[in-house]
Structure 1
Amino acid sequence: MVDLQEPLTRTQPATTSAKPGKQLGRAFYSALGAPGVFWMLAFVVLPLYAVAAVAFGTVDPILRIPVAAWSPLQWSFSDFGALLSSIVSGPLANVLVRTGVYVLAGTIGCVLIGYPVAYYLARYGGRFRNWILAGLVLPFLISYMLRMLAWVTLLQPDGYLNKILSYTPIGGDHNWLGGSGFTVVLGLIYGYVPYFILALWASLERLDVRHVEAARDLGASPRMAFMRVTLPLSIPGLLAATAIVVLPMCGDYYTNTFLTRGATSTEMIGNQIEHFLLGSSEPQRGAGLVLILMAVLLVFMAYYIRTVRMTEKELTR
């Protein structure tokens, strides 16, 4: 008689021996992720706590340097409350609104310039793709400060831009470096549009071309196929590229410093943080502005993550 239980007893060791291997795999990948966790703790969490300790601490009355309150039980919120009041109804309110306007205009400029370039790279780049990508990456080899100084040379009263405009009805007597918001927005677009293009191109490159071909086969025009297929599918990548440029734009202070020669009429929130931390006797206000800016950006990031998840769910239905 054949023992029907024999195959079952032979397969039991295989199931039990798989558990140690699975546990070993988890331990291996946990060990791989440990350096990243320690990095986040050492260079993100601890510095953030140090900023909070300065923001809610005091200032030495003689040396006028910040005295961090490392224990949360010693935190004082009086200066932080005054900072919030100045943001709501004080002079910092104008700076915050101006920063939002500049960042919004710079982001729109990045979308208008960067989307066509990224779309061309993904669909029609061909053999020139690597050359275009190299042209986008090459500016990163030069310091951001030097690139802004190059724009100062172009935009100064006797610079090349005014010389070119002198041959047009517009005229060449414009003071582009005298505190113009347009100059700041132009500098923001120039500084961050390569990041936008590279991030969006990486997303458009992964789109399945067969969706567009199916739309064309069903009678859609090239414009309709782009509006109904390509653009909706590229929304997650567009949001990711927007987040990549919005975050550094909000804390930017080099652009305004160089392109407007430190004009107060174009100050952004980053300039105020630099002023409080380095040029005033109220460093705790600068640290408080850092925390407020981070809170605003975290709200934006939460909205971005939620929107991307909802978009992905709609596209997979």
Structure 2
Amino acid sequence: MAEEIVTTAAAGSDDNEGGVGSPWFWRGLALPGTAWVLLFFVAPLYVVLAIIFGSIDPILRQPVPVWDPLHWDFSQFNYVMGRIFGSDAYFRPAVLRTIEYVAIASFLCLLIAYPVAYFTARFAGRWKGVILACLIAPFWISYMMRMLAWINLLQNDGLVNRALSAGGLFDVHEAWLSGHGSTVVLGLVYGYVPYMILPLFAGLDRAPVSMLEAARDLGASRWQTFWRVTWPLTRSAVVVSLLVTTLPMLGDYFTNDLLSGSPSTSMIGNLINNAVLTPGQTGQAGAFVLVILVISVLPMFLYVRSTRSGTDIAV
């Protein structure tokens, strides 16, 4: 009997060496994801760095990437950094304006998206599928077409001014499309709020209802139940939704071009677009991309920190 137990244990350990418990098994599962990151993130990032710290063809005015880090030229990068943080801060207003617009638009998106996602996950019932289909429907229409619809609404004789004039009772001729920062923020909110609703819905839909019912049975009010149970359970989903919306907003240039077109509302994305279209400034465009990458590291760090800390509930 003892020999059979030893033989069975030895066979189990042999199977475990190449089975689910083996570290090589999990490394194999991680191999496709690792290859994807190397191919579509690390390699393009190195190409961007080679262009930023490369040189410019003096005749064709085209970027010449330098692949050897020992021969990198920091002149273009220093030029951009000097005009962001130096005394001649020509690009600083656009950078600060981008952070301001993105912060306000993300906050407004959260105010709109969280109640919608909460209602869909908790109270929609059999209409949940219909509501989700309506939330996904904007993705079927191009971003440009949706922004063009706002142009028709916000032009001088558009529906917005007509509504504000109350059918002609008031004289309202506000030029919403002539350099208004609020119009750009409105466009960002409208364009990116669906990206925030779906991750929030996924997080709220996974939250166990039994914990909410237990909090109510223990005498917690609706606000206490939300603050001490629902919010901690969905904190990671909130961070994910903010990442999904904030990162593309940082590089957005199309919204400002369509709804404003004024240098007074330009963002980092507009600086990148202008640098790409100007011969000899591709390296400066890459430097702006690197600035966006550095700015986006903070929300990424918050997401990693929230996932590591888990979803502990404050009591």
Contact 2:272-2:285 at 8 Å conserved across structures: yes
Distance 2:229 2:156 in 1: 47
Give the structure 2 partner of residue 233 of structure 1: 233
RMSD of the TM alignment (CA)? 2.3
Q: TM-score, normalised by structure 1?
A: 0.90
Describe the shift of the 1:133–1:170 C-alpha distance in structure 2 as closer, same or farther (beyond 3 A).
Answer: farther
- In 1, Cα distance between equivalents of 2:258 and 2:248: 17
**Residues 235-254 of structure 1: matches in 2 within 5 Å?**
235-254=235-254
Deviation at 1:181, TM superposition (A): 0.4
Shift in CA distance, 226/33, structure 1 to aligned 2, threshold 3 Å: closer
Q: How far apart are residue 98 of structure 1 and its match?
A: 0.3
C-alpha displacement at 1:145, in angstroms?
1.2
Partner of 1:315: 313
CA deviation digits over 1:176-203, x for unaligned, max 9? 1001100000000001101101010100
* 8 Å Cα contact 2:62/2:279 also seen in 1: no
The 1:119/1:267 distance shift into structure 2, 3 A limit, reads: same
Q: 1:237 to 1:71 in 2, by over 3 A?
A: same
Partner residue, 1:46: 43
Give the SS at the match of 1:172.
Answer: coil
Going from structure 1 to structure 2, the CA distance change for 1:228 and 1:22 (only over 3 Å counts) comes to closer
For 2:20 and 2:240, the matched residues in 1 are separated by: 35
Aligned-residue sequence identity (percent) comes to 43
d(CA) in 2 for partners of 1:282, 1:35: 36
Equivalent in the alignment of 1:120: 119
Residue of structure 2 equivalent to 1:218 = 218
For residue 87 of structure 1, what is the amino acid of its counterpart? I
- 3-state DSSP of counterpart to 1:315: coil
Q: C-alpha distance in 2, partners of 1:12/1:304?
A: 42
Q: Which residue of 2 aligns with 1:7?
A: 4
**1:50-97, CA deviations, whole angstroms, 9 ceiling, x for partnerless residues?**
110110011111111111111112101122122111111312111111
Partner of residue 172, structure 2: 172
**Structure 1 stretches of 5 or more lacking a match?**
none
In 1, the alpha carbon distance for the partners of 2:100 and 2:153 equals: 24
Q: Which residue of 2 aligns with 1:109?
A: 108
AA aligned to 1:145 is: M
Structure 2: gaps spanning 5 or more residues: none
Contact 1:83 1:285 in 2 (8 A): yes
8 Å contact kept, 1:162–1:171: no
Residue range with higher mean Cα deviation, 78-87 or 31-40: 31-40
For 1:79, the equivalent position in structure 2 comes to 76
With over 3 angstroms needed to count, the CA separation of the structure-2 counterparts of 1:206 and 1:109, relative to structure 1, is same
When residues 153 and 33 of structure 1 are mapped into structure 2, their CA distance, relative to the original with a 3 A threshold, is same
Could you tell me which residue of structure 2 aligns to residue 57 of structure 1?
54
How far off its partner does 1:204 sit? 0.6
Q: In the alignment, residue 239 of structure 2 is paired with which amino acid?
A: L
- Whichever residue aligns with residue 263 of structure 1, its letter is S
Partner of 1:163: 162
User: How many angstroms does 1:7 deviate by?
Assistant: 3.0
Partner Cα distance (1:118, 1:17) in 2: 48
| C-alpha contact (below 8 Å) 1:164/1:172 kept by paired residues | no
Alignment length (residue pairs): 312
Aligned counterparts of 1:274 and 1:144: Cα–Cα separation in 2: 17
Give distance in 2, aligned partners of 1:193 and 1:181.
Answer: 18
